[in-house]
Structures are given as C-alpha cells and as structure tokens.
Amino acid sequence: MKLTNLKLHNFRNYEDVNLEFTEQFNVFIGENAQGKTNLLESIYALGVTKSHRTNKYQQLIRFDTDASLIQGTVEKSTTTTELELDLSAKGRKTKVDHLPTRKISDYFGNLNVVLFSPEDLYLIKGGPKLRRDFLDIELGQINKIYLYELMEYQKVLASRNAYLKQIINYADIDEVYLEVIDEQLAKLGKQVVDLRIQFLARLEETLQKIYQNIAHKDEKIEVSYLTDIKDDYAAQLKANRRQDFIKGSTQIGPHRDDLIFKINGKDVKNFGSQGQQRTVILSLKIAEIQLFFEETNEYPLLLLDDVLSELDQQRQEHIFNAIKDDVQTFITTTDLGILKDKLNKKYEVFEIQEGKIIND
C-alpha cells in the first residue's frame, strides 16, 4: 500500500501542510527540532490512531489550538481510501472515506505501518516484557487464533493468581479447583508457547536472510524462545503450587517467557555492539514487513526515524538495498549522506524547517 497524499492541520509544530509522496523513498531532511519526527509520527498515527512517542494524544495537538486533523489517501492494488484522524480534548475520531467509524477496530488495517525509532533498541536492551509484547503484537496481527488463545490464557491465569492470593492457609487450598485450573492453564499456555515458537522459526528464517545481506557475511543471527515450561506443564504447575501460593502469583508460563537474539552464538544484549544491535532491530523490522506481505499481499509503509546514525556506510547501503522497491519508505535525516549517490530508488526530498516544507 502507498500513502500518496497527507494533509495536516494543527498537528505538533505543523499548522497546515499538504504533501504528495512518491511511491518509493521519501526523505525528511532538516536540522534538529524542525519537525521531521513529527511528520513520521503523523503517518504512524494515521495508521494506528496513536503516537509511538506518547500515550497522551493531546500532546499531538499544536500548542494553543484545540484540535488536530490528519488526512491521507491510501492506495492499494485495487482500492483508494481516504482516511482521517481527528484529535481534540474530547477524544479521537476516525473516518474512512469521509464516514465516521464506530469502533477504532473498524479503522485498523486501512493503513499498516512498520516503524523503526531509536527507542526500539530497548527491544534488545530492555526487559523481557518488551519482547513478549513485541511477539504478541506481531503474531497477533497475523494470527487471530493466537490472539484468542492468549486472551483465554490470561483470563485463566488471572483466576489462578486471584485464588492463590485469597487463600490464607495453604492447608485450606482447594485441590480439586486448582486441578481444574491447572489443566486449563497448561493446555492454553502450551498452545500459546507452541504458536510463538512456530512464529519465531518463521521469523528467524526471514531475519537470517535479511541480516546476512546487511551485516558482514560471517555473522549468523539466531532468535530463540526461552521458557521454563516442560512437556508436562500441568504437573509442573501442580508441583509449584506451594511456591506460587507463597509468591502470590504463578511463576512459570508464557507470561514469564522471553526471547533472545544471538549473533554467532553470543547474546546480542550483552555482547553486541551498538551498530549490531541497530542492525538486528532494523533487520527485524524488514522481516516483519516481509511476513506481513506473505499474509496479506500488501506491503506496509516503512517509517525510519534516525536510522542512519551509528551505522557505517556499507551497512547503510545494504539496508536500503534490503528494502524491496515496493515498500514505500519514509526516512528522517539531518543530512543526505549516502542517500545522494548510493540510493538506487526513486526518491523525493522534503526539506523541513520549523514545521514548514521549504523546498516545495
């Protein structure tokens, strides 16, 4: 899919802009604090109705104004759709082809975006919850069964934990009740883990090809799933009941699992350089685009914020080559660098200064 036109009104530091984009590479260039990321943020928000930088969408409304408006035209192979996101103190409103959508969920899927921003490096550096969330979001987008199983798992888990917290003496525990709960939890938990492992195997295959093309040829990347659950997960839950009672929550299960990225067998979190970590995340985003295409036959937009820093020229060049020509890409940068002569794609440059496009 392609975003061919974008209009902003009172969004961040933009008063009114109307932009026509090219189908391949769109470069937002400018000095710091001019509005490059704001522009990417507006595209991201038009896709998913929220910002990647803040949960308070009111922050997106231009200072001293009451409401923001983002409008865009999305072209897919056979359809053209007009999207609109209105933000005001009263809330968010979405429109598709000028008609209000009743539920936000009816709006999703019209404009798919994959964003890389420097904060994504926390996917490697940060705690396991971030990686579980990543898995849940990515897998959930392409597999509705997974979403369902995960939600069921979370419900049963919440019941088990609530029960364990409510008991005062372990001797009073209702073995029969817990037997039932543990069986259910084990069944759902195992399904969640199996689907995650299957997904990661697929992701790994795509990721390996992309990573190999971007990084040095002798770097091999792996992703593995880390879990404490064993084949007889129900028996494990039973054996852990006393401990779970003391802690007041279930200690083993997919809600505690993690995943790990390795280069040549070494954990990227502890041994990878900044450039390697960045390359892993970028490769992951490009892999995500590929998997999304395999499922839907449409490429999402790729939004790259500040992607070039910390990458040597060769990696920068390889990254651009790894992005398929059909993927419409938006990239922010403070200088054109290698984009000028090494980019074999159709590209358009938007020079940004204080919320205005100055080369129009």
Ligand X SMILES: Nc1ncnc2c1ncn2[C@@H]1O[C@H](COP(=O)(O)OP(=O)(O)OP(=O)(O)O)[C@@H](O)[C@H]1O
Residue number, 38 or 94, with CB nearest to Mg ion: 38
Is residue 254 involved in binding ligand X (CB under 6 A)? no
For residues 94 and 328, what is the distance between their CA atoms, to the nearest angstrom?
A: 23
**Which of ligand X, Mg ion, none binds 35 (CB below 5-8 Å, type-dependent)?**
ligand X
Which residues are 347's β-sheet partners? 25
Shortest reach from residue 122's CB to ligand X, in Å: 17
330, 43 Cβ separation under 8 angstroms: yes
Residues that contact ligand X, how many (by CB under 6 A): 16
Binding mask 12-51 for ligand X (x = CB under 6 A): xx----------------x-xxxxxxx-------------
Q: 255: closest CA among 152, 123, 170, 143?
A: 152
Residue number, 37 or 276, with CB nearest to Mg ion: 37
Which residue is associated with the tokens 């604090």?
33
295, 142 Cβ separation under 8 angstroms: yes
Is residue 37 involved in binding Mg ion (CB under 5 A)? yes
Binding mask 280-319 for ligand X (x = CB under 6 A): ----------------------------------------
Is residue 34 involved in binding Mg ion (CB under 5 A)? no
Residue number, 37 or 68, with CB nearest to Mg ion: 37
In whole angstroms, how large is the CA radius of gyration of the chain? 23
Selected from 6, 25, 43, 62, the binder of ligand X by CB under 6 A is 62
For residues 169 and 160, what is the distance between their CA atoms, to the nearest angstrom?
A: 16
Shortest reach from residue 28's CB to Mg ion, in Å: 9
Binding residues for ligand X restricted to 148-187, rule: CB under 6 A: none
Residue number, 13 or 296, with CB nearest to ligand X: 13
**Which of ligand X, Mg ion, none binds 32 (CB below 5-8 Å, type-dependent)?**
ligand X
For residues 359 and 79, what is the distance between their CA atoms, to the nearest angstrom?
A: 31
User: What are 30's two structure tokens?
Assistant: 């400018």
For residue 190, give every residue at least 6 positions away whose Cβ sits within 8 Å of its Cβ, in sequence order, or none.
Answer: 229, 233
**Which of Mg ion, ligand X, none binds 30 (CB below 5-8 Å, type-dependent)?**
ligand X
Residue number, 38 or 277, with CB nearest to ligand X: 38
User: What are 291's two structure tokens?
Assistant: 């998997």
Stretch that binds ligand X, among 56-64, 102-110, 192-200, 260-268 (CB under 6 A): 56-64
For residues 306 and 327, what is the distance between their CA atoms, to the nearest angstrom?
A: 18
Q: 124: closest CA among 273, 344, 9?
A: 273
Is residue 250 involved in binding Mg ion (CB under 5 A)? no
CB-based burial of residue 144 (10 Å sphere; 0-12 exposed, 13-18 middle, 19+ buried)?
A: exposed
Q: 108: closest CA among 78, 154, 140, 131?
A: 140
Residues contributing to the site for Mg ion (CB under 5 A): 37
Residues contributing to the site for ligand X (CB under 6 A): 12-13, 30, 32-38, 59, 61-63, 332, 334
